[in-house]
Amino acid sequence: MQRRENTLSAPVYFYLSNFYFWFFALLGGLAPYWSLYLESVGFSHLEIGQLLSILMITKVLAPNLWSWLGDRSNRRLGLVRWGAFLGCACFGLFFVSSGFWSFALVMLSFSFFWNAILPQYEVITLFNLKNDKNRYGHIRLWGSIGFILAVFLLGALLDYTPITLLPICLFIILSVIWVSTLAPVQEPRHRERHSLSGLIGILRSKVVIAFFVANLLLQVSHGAYYTFFSIYMESYGYSKTAIGLLWAEGVIAEVILFLLVPILFARYTLRIMMIAALVITTLRWLLTGWMGGSLPLIIVAQLGHAASFGLMHVVAIYFVHRAFMGVHEGQGQALYSAASFGAGGAIGALMSGYLATTFSLAAMFLVSALVAMLALSVAWSGFSPSFSAMDEPQKQSLSTI
């Protein structure tokens, strides 16, 4: 009975992995190509930055509302399913929209529901993993594989067909995301009551504050990348297929990182891994800004995605799981998403949009490097968790698969 309780079954592994695959396949269509689509329908660089910032702004509000509902209802899976369905329905409004404010309203409604579901599914995933917590990386890597395939296949498709087909492709992926949430997986049921004072006590910790500030700044530094990297590469004459391959290369590096998680967690502390990731992130943006016309060096820079996203994300998910354990975990995951991908991403997208009206696209990546250096200084001075990467309460181990 104990073995059955603590071992992840093959069907559940598939259900969890399938959700991540399709969720991040959608991101694989949005991140590299949505800015190109917006440019093709006549939006300026400033308007593109503003529209893409909406995707980030809703990450501040939506995950926290869904988490609040999930903590009090103990019905996280139902909330995930409704969020996926409503996100798909709202995206369909793009087919009857035109003009900046119409697009902005649809972006707001679609991204609100889409952004709401991932933090709650992270809690569901960790609950289903039970004593196999270090298999999180092996499940999450399927999201990276979905991203890679979407980037590659859509890039090849859009080289030979009008980019106006992109919304249709993304709508199909959103429909499959909703279907994937219907799988029968377990969800946590906490009997203890949510305590606001307990949550505030966690948030007042120096190490938690440093964690959130460093991750917010990290995502600010990604603003130029997620908003203008494709346009920046296109300005050097790269084809959509080549641009897609560069995006895919970064995520392939991320997949390899996820496979190495058990080894890294066994050898290094969370502090060392975060600092190393931020150093690599700084170097990545410097190379991108200085050497955009050099394909070999851009390839090297893209390998840094393994650290700037992959390693930072794994460290963050584990840190939040430990620091906010129990009834506060859903709120902790939502706050992480809101502060980093939400507030940080929105600030980064808006900042890069305004900078693009005055400075070159290359200059924006040099600004990103400065922001990453600031994140590094915050982590260096304040991020020193009292628990290690190998610690797990209730004798749960991260050392074996």
The DSSP secondary structure of 98-154, one letter per residue, reads -SHHHHHHHHHHHHHHHHHHHHHHHHHHHHHHTT-GGGHHHHHHHHHHHHHHHHHHH
Answer whether residue 384 shows pLDDT above 70: yes
Q: Measuring CA to CA, which residue among 205, 204, 200, 214 is closest to residue 381?
A: 214
Residues 109 and 244 placed together within one structural domain of the fold: no
User: Tell me: the pLDDT tens digits for 83-110?
Assistant: 999 999 999 999 888 889 999 999 999 9
Residue 167, both tokens = 């919304």
CATH number, domain with residue 349: 1.20.1250.20
Residue 393 belongs to some domain of the structure = no
The rounded percent of the chain whose pLDDT value lies above 90 is 29
Per-residue model confidence (pLDDT) at position 237: 85
Distance CA 206, CA 275 (A): 17
Q: Are 331 and 120 in contact (CB under 8 A)?
A: no
Segments forming the whole domain that contains residue 291: 202-385
Q: Could you give the number of structural domains in the chain?
A: 2
Comparison of pLDDT for 67 and 379, the residue scoring more: 379
Do 173 and 227 belong to one domain? no
Contacts of 26 (CB under 8 A, 6+ apart): 114, 150, 170, 173, 174, 177
217 in the same domain as 178:
no
Any domain includes 246: yes
Domain for residue 193, yes or no?
no
Do 228 and 374 share a domain, yes or no?
yes
* Judgement on whether residues 307 and 374 belong to the same structural domain of the protein: yes
Of residues 95, 263, 240, 63, the one with CA closest to residue 154: 240
Contact between 244 and 31 (Cβ < 8 Å):
no
Q: Is the pTM of this model over 0.85?
A: no
